[in-house]
C-alpha cells in the first residue's frame, strides 16, 4: 500500500511512518518542520527513524494548496494519514492564527486534494479536546452535545464537521481519530511527562499546573501506531463516501500526581515543583470509551502507564538524547 503521512517529522507521524515501512508499505512523508518546538528534534527523528527505512520527507507547508495538490497527484496514495497540525491547547491568543492556518486551512487543502484525486482512504488526527469539560465519562463518539473549551479543540471538532460533506459524494472514505494524551520515546517536549522526566534527570524544577488532580487517559505511542494502521485497513472495507470518528485512548485515566509518582519511583528521585495556577484551557478529565475501536479492529490500547513510562525513560537516558532534553524543552512554552 502507498501511504502519504503528513506531519511525518512529528512525534506520532515519525513513529507511524517507521511502523508502516516495516510492514512493507511505501511511505512518503510531508512536514514543514514548524518551530512550535525544536525543529532539530524533528530532524533527528527523520535521521533516526525515517532515513534508515528510506522514507523521504518532503518539506512543504500544507497551507499551500497548489503544492499539496501536486504531491497527491504525483504520488497517488492509497491512503493519506493526516497528522500535521498546530498541537497543544496552551498557545497564546496572539498566536492563535497558527490553529487557523494549520488546523483549518491546511486541513481543508489536504482534504480537498484527497477527494479531488479520488484517494481511497483519508484518516486524520482529531483529539480528546473536542470533548471539552464533558461530564459524561467515559467519552463516547455518539455524544453530539460536546463543547470544546480551547481553540485547538474547536478546530479539531470543525475538521470532523467538514469531512462528511466533502466525502459523502466522493470516491474517498474518511475516518477521524480522537487521540488521548499520547506519550513515549521521541515525544513532544511541551508535554508534562517529557518535562517531568527531564526535571528528575537534571534536578531542575517542574512547573506544575494546579493541584495535580487533573486526569488524562494516557496512551502509549505503539498502541496509537498499531491502532492507526489497523483502522486504515478496516476503513477500506467500507463503501465510497463513508466517514466516521473513533476514539483511540487507554480507557484508564491517571492523574498528573500519579504520573509524577510513576516517573519519580522509576528514577528513585523526588521531583522539585513550582506550583502555578491551572491553565484555563486544560480540561479536568479525559477518558475514552473504546467500544467503537474494539468493534472496528478487535483491540484497544494495552500498554500500562508503568510499562510505557519505563520505555520512555530508557529512551530519554540515552546519552545523545539526555544531553538534548533541556534544549528541546526550552524551545517551546
Q: Which of 17, 181, 198, 247 binds ligand NAD (CB under 6 A)?
A: 181
Check binding of 102 to ligand NAD (CB under 6 A).
yes
Q: Whole-number minimum distance, CB 239 to ligand NAD, in Å?
A: 26
Q: What is the contact mask toward ligand NAD in residues 111 to 140, using x (rule: CB under 6 A)? A: --------------x-x-------------
Q: Which is nearer to ligand NAD, 13 or 121 (CB)?
A: 13
Residue 85 makes contact with ligand NAD by CB under 6 A: yes
User: Which of 4, 10, 262, 309 touches ligand NAD (CB under 6 A)?
Assistant: 10
Pick the stretch among 10-18, 243-251, 257-265, 299-307 that binds ligand NAD (CB under 6 A): 10-18
Active site includes 242?
no
Specify the residue, 33 or 315, whose C-beta has the smaller distance to ligand NAD.
33
Q: Toward ligand NAD, which CB reaches closer, 45 or 208? A: 45
Per-residue three-class SS string for the chain: CEEEEECCCCHHHHHHHHHHHHCCCEEEEEECCCCCCCHHHHHHHHHHHHHHHCCEEEECCCCCHHHHHHHHHHHCCCEEEECCCCCCCCCCHHHCHHHHHHHHHHHHHHHHHHHHCCCCEEEEEEEHHHHECCCCCCECCCCCCCECCCHHHHHHHHHHHHHHHHHCCCCCEEEEEEECCEECCCCCCCCHHHHHHHHHHHCCCEEEECCCCCEECCEEHHHHHHHHHHHHHHHCCCCCCCEEEEEECCCCCEEHHHHHHHHHHHHCCCCCEEEECCCCCCCCECCECCHHHHHHHCCCCCCCHHHHHHHHHHHHCCHHHHCCHHHHHHCCC
- Contact criterion met (CB below 8 Å) for 84 and 30: yes
Q: How far apart, in Å, do the first and last CA atoms of the chain sit? A: 38
Window 14-43: residues binding ligand NAD (CB under 6 A): 30-34, 42
Q: Which of 99, 139, 166, 179 binds ligand NAD (CB under 6 A)?
A: 179
Q: Is 9 in the site for ligand NAD (CB under 6 A)?
A: yes
Is residue 174 involved in binding ligand NAD (CB under 6 A)? no
Number of neighbours of residue 118 by Cβ within 10 angstroms: 12
Q: Which is nearer to ligand NAD, 30 or 115 (CB)?
A: 30
Instruction: Return the range that interacts with ligand NAD (CB under 6 A); candidates 7-15, 196-204, 267-275, 318-326.
Output: 7-15
Which part of the chain contacts ligand NAD (CB under 6 A), choosing from 180-188, 232-240, 256-264, 294-302?
A: 180-188
Cβ distance to ligand NAD smaller for residue 17 or 32: 32
Active site residues: 152
Q: Name the site residues for ligand NAD (rule: CB under 6 A).
A: 7, 9-13, 30-34, 42, 61-63, 83-87, 102, 106, 125, 127, 179, 181-182, 188
Amino acid at each position: 500500500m502507498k501511504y502519504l503521512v503528513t506531519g511525518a517529522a512529528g512525534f506520532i507521524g515519525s513513529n507511524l511512518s517507521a511502523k508502516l515501512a516495516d510492514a512493507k508499505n511505501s511511505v512518503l512523508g510531508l512536514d514543514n518542520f514548524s518551530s512550535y518546538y525544536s525543529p532539530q528534534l524533528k530532524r533527528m527523528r527523520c535521521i533516526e527513524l525515517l532515513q534508515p527505512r528510506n522514507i523521504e520527507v518532503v518539506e512543504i507547508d500544507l497551507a499551500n494548496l497548489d503544492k499539496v495538490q501536486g504531491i497527491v497527484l504525483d504520488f497517488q496514495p492509497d491512503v493519506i494519514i493526516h497528522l500535521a497540525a498546530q498541537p497543544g491547547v496552551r498557545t497564546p491568543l496572539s498566536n492563535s492564527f497558527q490553529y487557523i492556518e494549520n488546523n483549518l486551512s491546511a486541513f481543508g487543502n489536504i482534504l480537498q486534494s484527497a477527494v479531488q484525486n479520488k484517494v481511497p482512504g483519508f484518516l486524520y488526527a482529531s483529539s480528546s479536546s473536542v470533548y471539552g469539560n464533558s461530564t459524561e465519562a467515559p467519552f463516547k463518539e455518539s455524544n453530539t452535545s460536546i463543547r470544546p473549551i480551547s481553540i485547538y479543540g474547536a478546530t479539531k471538532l470543525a475538521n470532523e464537521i467538514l469531512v462528511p460533506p466533502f466525502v459523502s459524494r466522493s470516491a474517498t472514505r474518511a475516518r477521524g481519530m480522537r487521540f488521548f494524551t499520547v506519550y513515549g520515546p521521541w515525544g513532544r517536549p511541551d508535554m508534562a511527562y517529557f518535562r517531568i522526566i527531564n526535571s528528575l534527570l537534571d534536578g531542575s524544577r517542574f512547573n506544575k499546573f494546579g493541584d495535580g488532580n487533573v486526569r488524562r487517559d494516557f496512551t502509549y505511542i505503539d498502541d496509537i501506531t498499531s491502532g492507526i494502521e489497523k483502522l486504515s485497513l478496516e476503513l477500506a472495507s467500507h463503501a465510497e463516501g463513508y466517514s466516521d470518528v473513533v476514539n483511540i485512548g487507554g480507557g484508564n485515566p491517571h492523574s498528573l500526581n500519579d504520573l509524577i509518582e510513576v516517573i519519580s519511583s522509576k528514577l528513585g528521585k523526588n521531583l522539585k515543583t513550582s506550583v502555578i495556577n491551572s491553565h484555563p484551557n486544560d480540561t479536568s478529565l479525559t477518558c475514552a470509551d473504546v467500544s467503537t475501536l474494539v468493534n472496528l479492529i478487535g483491540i484497544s490500547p494495552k500498554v500500562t502507564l508503568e510499562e510505557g513510562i519505563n520505555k520512555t525513560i530508557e529512551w530519554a537516558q540515552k546519552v545523545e538524547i539526555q544531553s538534548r532534553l533541556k534544549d528541546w524543552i526550552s524551545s517551546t512554552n
